[in-house]
Amino acid sequence: MQKKPIKHILVVRLSALGDVAMTVPVIKALLQQHPQLKVTILSRGFFKPLFHDIPNLHFHEADVREKHKGAFGLNRLSRELLKLNIDAVADLHNVLRSNILKTFLRLNKIPVVQIDKGRKEKKALTSGKKFYQLKTTHERYAEVFESLGFDIDLSGSLFSKRRELNEKISGFIGGDGKKWIGIAPFAAFKGKMYPLDLMEKVIETLNAAGAYQVILFGGGKKEENLLDAIAGKYNNVVNMAGKFSFEEELTLISNLDLMLSMDSGNAHLAAMYGIKTITLWGVTHPYAGFYPFKQDKNNALLSDKEKYPLIPTSVYGNKLPKGYEDVMRTISPEKVVEKIVSVI
């Protein structure tokens, strides 16, 4: 029996922010190079603005906290998806939720291809057995579509379009004529976060230069208060945390001249728009495959592996061995500023 031709692909990636952002250039490439395809992305509603400028893309919200919670909720979700007449599923997440969903969809003869996360290679990397560049997450995403019969070339221009600034954002940021530098100083784990006292030295130096408007990014009330306290000390520094919607935040990021970030979601948001992005790395390492899309490899400032030989201690930065608390202090503020000035 001949296989049904694939005209409509469901792409599943429910979280997290950086991982969802990394799907964007890959889906852009897929639709540019296979314009006959229709794609539906299944993700959390919060992430919908990431896909605003992709034609032939439909967004379907996964409400995993309420309507689609648990096995019964995922069964309901599968029934919603079947009504969309999908022909195949590209599971770019491969977690418990997407596996349950896969089971429901396969019962209806929908083929599902899942991402190979490279767990074995990543374990060899973090255990110290091997130390080399693994496939990037973007490449792993592309492989899923290739398994469905759609080759993807990621070498072209796949950046999202710069968003138009509105008066609210422009008026808040200010700094007429200055270059805009975004700084996202936080990360999910302590081992990936540059010490705030050192980051403030970076901010102080950039502020004193008078040529830059520094924009601080963060989420959560505690982070917002910390950044408010820092921004309040300097004339050329503003804190946008808690001031804008996610869509407005993306507009702002797309208009930056440079982003300074940890190994975190903000790096991937900036890279999505082709913004020059400098990343600071603690107990994680670019070799694990999470480097921002098409960024110059020289824009990664790494902690000292000779002093801290267990780097990378994990893929996500959740393992901080005893004695590694100050790992990122091996990256001096002077080195960070020097890199910013040379890149911007």
* Token pair for 82: 């079947």
Secondary structure (3-state) at 98: helix
**Rounded to an integer, what distance in angstroms lies between the CA atom of residue 131 and that of residue 121?**
10
Q: What are the φ and ψ backbone dihedral angles of 159, each rounded to 5 degrees?
A: -75, 150
Residue with tokens 């689609």: 68
Q: Which pairs with CB-CB distance under 8 Å and at least 24 residues apart come from 129-138?
A: 131/287, 132/287, 133/286, 133/287, 133/289, 134/287, 134/288, 134/289, 135/289, 136/289, 136/290, 136/291, 137/19, 137/22, 137/289, 137/290, 138/22, 138/25, 138/26, 138/293
Q: Where are the beta strands (DSSP E) in the chain?
A: 8-12, 38-43, 57-61, 88-91, 112-114, 179-184, 212-216, 237-239, 258-262, 277-281, 300-302
**Rounded to an integer, what distance in angstroms lies between the CA atom of residue 307 and that of residue 316?**
20
| Whole-number pLDDT of residue 4 | 83
Residues 6+ positions from 88 with CB-CB distance below 8 Å: 6, 8, 9, 10, 110, 111, 112, 113, 148
* Token pair for 51: 């896909």
- Whose CA is closest to 289, among 140, 119, 155, 137? 137
- The one-digit pLDDT tens for each residue of the chain (344 residues) are 457 899 999 999 999 999 999 999 999 999 999 999 999 999 999 999 999 999 889 999 999 999 999 999 999 999 999 999 999 999 999 999 999 999 999 999 999 999 999 999 999 999 999 999 999 999 999 999 999 999 999 998 899 999 999 999 999 998 888 999 999 999 999 999 999 999 999 999 999 999 999 999 998 889 999 999 999 999 999 999 999 999 999 999 999 999 999 999 999 999 999 999 999 999 999 999 999 999 999 999 999 999 999 999 999 999 999 999 999 999 999 999 999 999 99
Helix H or strand E encompassing 203: helix 196-209
Structure pTM? 0.95
Q: Which fold has domain 8-147?
A: Rossmann fold (3.40.50)
For domain 167-343, the CATH architecture is 3-Layer(aba) Sandwich (3.40)
Q: Are 180 and 256 in contact (CB under 8 A)?
A: yes
DSSP string, 253-310: HHT-SEEEEESSHHHHHHHHTT--EEEEESS--GGGS-PPTT--GGGEEEP-TTTSTT
- Whose CA is closest to 111, among 89, 126, 92? 89
**Rounded to an integer, what distance in angstroms lies between the CA atom of residue 159 and that of residue 293?**
9
**Rounded to an integer, what distance in angstroms lies between the CA atom of residue 230 and that of residue 325?**
23
Residues 6+ positions from 323 with CB-CB distance below 8 Å: none
Domain ranges of the chain: 8-147, 167-343
| Whole-number pLDDT of residue 176 | 84
Residue type, 137: T
**Rounded to an integer, what distance in angstroms lies between the CA atom of residue 9 and that of residue 41?**
8
Helix H or strand E encompassing 145: helix 137-147
| Whole-number pLDDT of residue 223 | 92
| Whole-number pLDDT of residue 3 | 75
CATH topology agreement for domains 8-147 and 167-343: yes
Residue with tokens 């107990």: 283
Any idea what the Cα angle at residue 278 is, between residues 218 and 330, rounded to 5°? 90
| Whole-number pLDDT of residue 175 | 82
Q: Are 27 and 51 in contact (CB under 8 A)?
A: yes
Q: What are the φ and ψ backbone dihedral angles of 83, each rounded to 5 degrees?
A: -70, -15
| Cβ atoms within 10 Å of 67's Cβ, excluding its own | 12
